[in-house]
Structure 1
Amino acid sequence: MKRFLSGTVPRFTLTFFCLWLASLKLIAQENARKVIRNIEIERHDVFTDLNRKPRFIYSWANQLHIVTRENVIRQELLFKSGDEYDAEILEESERKLRSLSYFGEVTVVVKTEGEAFVDVLVTTQDQWSTIVAYVFEGGGGRTTFGGGIEEFNFLGLGKRIFSEITHEVSEGTQIQLRYTDPQLFSSRWTARGNFITGPFLKDYSVRIIRPFYALDTKWAYGFTGFARDQTRRFFANSREFDRFREEKEEFQVFGARAFGSRFHKRRVQLGYRFSTKDITAVPDRMVVPLPDDEVSHALILTATFENLSFVEETQIDKFVRVEDLALGNITQVSLGRTGIPFPNGVKRFELRVIRSEAHQIFDRQYLFLTLGVQTLFEKNTIASFRLRYYNKFARRQTLGINIEFDYADSLEDSQLLLGGDSGLRGYPARAFTGDKRLLLNVEDRIFSSVNILTVQLGGVLFFDAGNVWSEETSINLNDLNYSAGFGLRLGYVKSPDSRVGRIDFGWALNGGGFGIVVGVDQIFSVN
């Protein structure tokens, strides 16, 4: 018996027992609640490599720039010291910081880790935040020029101030002022005020909202309002043939509640809207039937269903900036009823339905689909389809395809337009008008490594096709208008949001013609 006890079987049993205890300890350690002990903020100026030439330019730029304040960064984080450690919350905080236009590179990582704690390191690098710009945009015979100044990170506080004056040839001068505060009184509330005055539009608007600022946020609420005096204009063959004046005031308040797990959300929103609309005919311009004046009270119920995941990419729309792509699907259904809770004014139902899909279909290939319809039932119905496909088929080249289709019925205050200023390069602005609109853009985007100071050079080869059909005309693909050309892309890698400038040279393949389109950002993008 003694001999048996000292044999190999008990040794094996003892070894197995020790391994079992060790595995239990490891499981217990993995399941133990770790808390965030310290959060270290490491802030970097716009230019970190001051040995590049010309050195004095980068040094002066840093001296003129105010680095984002630490309390602004901490306010954007979705965690604080003492919170339970959650890797997904750190990743979401990184995406949230990166979505701010005045940040370039952002990382949120665990610096040190113990049995019961972690220390987190947040590293940010600022973008140059002050833009003094000469505005020049053109396409299809429309030319706009002017100047403006925009500060995306006022005094390092994250506030945004914008002012601009532009003049469109043959139409007039427009002035715009805007203030945006993403941390109103250092809170989760956001605020925005906007003022526009010009020959065809005067607009005053304000918005104060506490949004769903994180995936785990349960409540959102706020209000918006505007007063607008607008001249509605109608075109045919690039020429205006009618107009009327619309004065509209609107106020809306809402509250919303979120349910479900972090990446599978269900949101319900209830809102109240009050609006008035007065229509005035312009003398000698009464071709289009005038819409009716309106006063309306409405209750609006909106349900949103989200199933999301996220992936990081580059060279989709930007040159070097990390682009956070939201994949999955979103469905939103909004139903409104006017005449509630106050019976005076117009009485009708309003419906809006949107379905969005975003998927990585193969390695480095992405597909984005959106279907939507909005209607007042007896008028102003628009059904829309959007498809965007990206294929990063080479190291510095991305194939982009954009398909847009809109079908409208009984529009009383607008029309569908297409031309050199709206996607069909090489043709006059507003060349095609009607109720059914189709547009195709195919681009080979080239992101070169050539960098001059802070501007990265790139190019594009493109092919466009499109048309707009009137209500009386059936859709016929033989009516499509085609264009092709090339363009220059300027990646302002240190500017806010790493903006892309574009200059496109397009040749109309139907009947000849040539056009130059100048603007900011890609002709189509993920967002």
Structure 2
Amino acid sequence: MLHVALRLLALSAAVALCSARAQPIIGAIWLDQREVFDSTADEWFFAAPLLNTLHTTTRPWVIGDELLFAVGDQLDTALLYESERNLRRTGLFSRVAMHVDTVAPDTVEVTITTQDFWSTSGAVLVGSGGGAATLGAEVEEFNLAGTGSRFGVEMLYRTENQIGWQGAVALTWRRALRSEVNVSGTLFANRYRTLQQLALLEPYRTLRTPLAWSVGGVNSFGSDFYYRRGTGRYELLPFHLRRASGWISIGTTDQNEDRLFATLLLSVENVRRIAPEFRQAGDNSARALLSLGSLRQRFRRISGLDGFLVEDLAVGAWGAATIGYFLPMNADGERLFYIGGEAEQSGFLADDRAYLFGRISAGSGFQRGQARYTAIESYGLGHWRLSTASLLVARFWQQTVWNWNAFRQLVLDNDIGLRSYAVNQLVGDNRFLYNVEFRALPPWRLWIFGISGVAFLDGGTVWMQGAAFSHARFHHAVGIGIRLHNLKWQEEGGILRLDIAYNLDTQRIGIVFSSNQLFSAVRSHLFALPTIYGSAIDTE
């Protein structure tokens, strides 16, 4: 019996050794870089050579920095797929593909094919909806000199709240000096507000990245807007905010299991506001937040939901629990303990025709045994594919607070998702919004553009703390729209959206013009920092 067992053990070891040896070695890696306009495709036209000349093709080392394999490594298809996703996530390429060729029984060669997006935009910005309009221009380069860095300048005239002219300059130096660190800075100013921001970030770039961190500072001053409910009128709330913050996160690196994260966030701030009643949650307090999170990601390629380009969707789940402590920085600060948590889950159903995503988060502070800043928020999203070129998409978004003894303001208008409703008139402490869209994305192409159409129903309400949700009045809009998709530009900024919305309260038609989808048909699960739930408010 012992003899048979030993023979079986030896046979198993031999099979395992042969399997290991059977894994081929990567003998060479080839880059096949295509320009923005490909002369072998239908997109080619008379000015394509000039535009290709004006565009700097992505540097080979930018692609190389995203690869998780090298010459001499054993072939690991999981690393190939992740490298392909990493390249798409940079937003630099309209096409990414990897092909493996067997050149010998134990050797393969990997060919990486990429095609650049057109990365320079010089655009006239025109937008309208809800009684507000914008007009201006921007110049943005998101692949500066082929390095993957981003630089943008914007000048915009806004009629909302008589803001007038505003300007912004933003720079992101990606992988500064070929390191893992991104450096970003922003300067924004209009007649009411100035924002100066600087940050260093080393993110979780891959499924095997063990550590991420960031440090940064914000200096913001000017005036927030306090909206009088139902009138469209506002008061100015002068403020000056200085904040320094940093976080560090440690994550497990086994890509085949749930990734676990431990994250510590520290911040200190000094805020001056016009009056105590306009103090916001956490003002003039140092805070320490510690979270433990778990992330499960299963990646899928998708297209034909928001547009026509191929994207990577992370299906799975995310959850985190947070504890924290607030320490007053001066007499206007506060001392309290904090506890909160969040959970997300998503998946495909009905032979992949249906998709559902759900998220819920809740948290509360405690001060001398009394609850403070209690908040709960939920978000649901789903779609049903009716055919290869049409789908039904819906979402809801609920935000509710109790014991919120600080200034709070949520707006329900055209900008947030209730199309054609006047900006800044529907205001409350709590908000509920839903949107339903029928989307048609036919395979027609007009040169480098795709065309899609929608029919939609929007609805929502806002209400104050202490008021019953059942007594809140709902507001609705219905309409149709058309989208023009630039297939040579990033999906997030390559859409022109025109909606014709009928306001069921005023029984008037409004025109909405924008440069993005109102909401996406899917949502990926991603690592998230600990936060004070419910602290985000609408101040402009």
Which residue does the alignment assign to 1:353?
Answer: 341
Q: 1:50-69 alignment to 2 at 5 Å?
A: 52=42, 55-69=45-59
Q: 1:355-374 alignment to 2 at 5 Å?
A: 355-362=343-350, 363-374=352-363
Q: Does 1:454 align with 2:443?
A: no
Which residue does the alignment assign to 1:273?
Answer: 267
C-alpha spacing 1:398/1:244, structure 2 compared with 1 (3 Å): same
Of 29-38 and 49-58, the range deviating more from structure 2: 49-58
CA contact (8 A) 1:388 1:401 kept: yes
C-alpha spacing 1:260/1:179, structure 2 compared with 1 (3 Å): closer
Q: Does 1:171 align with 2:163?
A: yes
Q: Deviations over 1:11-50 (max 9, x none)?
A: xxxxxxxxxx999987644322544332211111111135
**How much has 1:524 moved relative to structure 2?**
0.8
**How much has 1:396 moved relative to structure 2?**
0.9
CA contact (8 A) 1:422 1:429 kept: no
Amino acid at match of 2:81: E
Report the structure number with the largest CA radius of gyration: 1
**How much has 1:445 moved relative to structure 2?**
1.0
Q: 1:2-13 alignment to 2 at 5 Å?
A: none
Of 439-448 and 26-35, the range deviating more from structure 2: 26-35
CA contact (8 A) 2:202 2:212 kept: yes
Q: Does 1:299 align with 2:288?
A: yes
Counterparts of 1:107 and 1:200, CA distance in 2: 47
Which residue does the alignment assign to 2:507?
Answer: 512
Which residue does the alignment assign to 1:253?
Answer: 246
What SS class does the counterpart of residue 414 from structure 1 fall into?
A: coil
Q: 1:183-222 alignment to 2 at 5 Å?
A: 183-222=175-214
C-alpha spacing 1:77/1:180, structure 2 compared with 1 (3 Å): same
**How much has 1:59 moved relative to structure 2?**
2.3
C-alpha spacing 1:222/1:83, structure 2 compared with 1 (3 Å): farther
C-alpha spacing 1:426/1:231, structure 2 compared with 1 (3 Å): same
CA contact (8 A) 2:226 2:237 kept: no
Percent identity over paired residues = 25
Q: 1:259-408 alignment to 2 at 5 Å?
A: 259=252, 261-262=254-255, 263-281=257-275, 289-290=278-279, 294-319=283-308, 321-339=309-327, 346-362=334-350, 363-377=352-366, 379-408=372-401
**How much has 1:405 moved relative to structure 2?**
0.9
Unaligned runs of 5+ in 2: 1-9, 524-540
Of 440-449 and 254-263, the range deviating more from structure 2: 254-263
**How much has 1:487 moved relative to structure 2?**
0.5
C-alpha spacing 1:39/1:220, structure 2 compared with 1 (3 Å): same
Q: Does 1:482 align with 2:476?
A: yes
Counterparts of 1:256 and 1:53, CA distance in 2: 45
CA contact (8 A) 1:397 1:447 kept: yes
Counterparts of 1:352 and 1:70, CA distance in 2: 44
Amino acid at match of 1:247: H
CA contact (8 A) 1:279 1:291 kept: no
Counterparts of 1:488 and 1:256, CA distance in 2: 43
Q: Deviations over 1:56-89 (max 9, x none)?
A: 1222221211111101110111222233332111
**How much has 1:449 moved relative to structure 2?**
2.6
What SS class does the counterpart of residue 233 from structure 2 fall into?
A: strand
Which residue does the alignment assign to 2:79?
Answer: 89
C-alpha spacing 1:351/1:514, structure 2 compared with 1 (3 Å): farther
CA contact (8 A) 2:123 2:137 kept: yes
Aligned residues: 501
Q: Normalising to structure 1: TM-score of the pair?
A: 0.88
Q: Deviations over 1:232-269 (max 9, x none)?
A: 21222251343312211111222221126214110111
